[in-house]
Amino acid sequence: MAKDEALPEEGAEEAPKKKKIKKLPLIIGGVVALAIAGGGGFAYLRMKQVKAAKAGMQQVELEHKPAVHDDHPPIFLPLDNFTINLADTQEAHYLQLGMVFEVADLKAGEEIKNYMPVIRSRILLLLSGKTSEQLGTAEGKRQLAKEVLELTRERIPEPKEDKEKNKGIREVHFASFVIQ
């Protein structure tokens, strides 16, 4: 009967193992459920933050609405980059400049394109007379933009329907400005 007595001991050891094995899926399921709940809670809070941020941005957009001319967004006409030697006497400096014209409408943009070779030539002549000291300050850059705007407007013929007398060019913007 020694063999019979040994069997219950083996069975006694197997019974607790089966209970542990049955608890393992419950523990894994609980961890997964907690992870899902945590992820869902995080997603809910994140969506709430995004909605609040969007509402805040909409409020800012209403308060600071950009100026739109003639009920349409501005139209930009990029110019090819300029690379020019500056008029410095002590050291040789050159300027790499990218500009963009803000124009009133597509018709004005097409008119400017017709005169682009002349406009570029006049801008090159203007730039070649500048020094790095003149262009190195914010005020110098503003002055250059003003001068480019004026000389460009001088070259383009007066359109009949332009009430503002700006010849279709609203502003000159710098896309790049490097002095070396």
Looking at the fold, whether 59 and 81 belong to one and the same domain comes out as: no
Average pLDDT, integer, range 60-87:
71
Residue 62: pLDDT band with limits 50, 70, 90: very low
Residue 12 has pLDDT above 70, yes or no: no
Would you state the pLDDT for residue 17?
54
Residue 33: pLDDT band with limits 50, 70, 90: confident
Looking at the fold, whether 87 and 57 belong to one and the same domain comes out as: no
Q: Which residues constitute the domain of residue 93?
A: 75-179
Looking at the fold, whether 89 and 152 belong to one and the same domain comes out as: yes
Average pLDDT, integer, range 8-26:
59
Mean pLDDT in the chain?
Answer: 78
Domain count, the chain: 2
Residue 52 has pLDDT above 90, yes or no: no
Looking at the fold, whether 102 and 127 belong to one and the same domain comes out as: yes
For the chain, give the number of residues.
180
Percent of the chain surpassing pLDDT 70: 72
Residue type for 177, please? F
* pTM check: above 0.85: no
Would you state the pLDDT for residue 155?
73
> For the segment 116-175, what is each residue's pLDDT rounded down to a tens digit?
999 899 999 999 999 888 888 889 999 999 999 998 888 777 655 544 556 678 899 999
Looking at the fold, whether 163 and 121 belong to one and the same domain comes out as: yes
CA distances to 11, 12, 102, 127 from 3, in Å: 13, 15, 100, 108
CA distances to 15, 49, 51, 54, 160 from 63, in Å: 72, 21, 18, 14, 36
The backbone region for 165, taken as left when phi is positive above 0, alpha when psi lies in -120 to 50, beta otherwise, is left
Return d(Cα 88, Cα 71) in angstroms, integer: 45
**Would you say residue 26 lies in a domain?**
yes
Which residues contact residue 49 at a Cβ distance below 8 angstroms, ignoring those fewer than 6 apart?
Answer: none
117-133 b/e (C-beta count within 10 Å ≥ 16 → b):
eebeebbeeebeebebe
Q: Which of 34-38, 52-56, 84-88, 110-114 has the lowest mean pLDDT?
A: 52-56
Looking at the fold, whether 80 and 143 belong to one and the same domain comes out as: yes
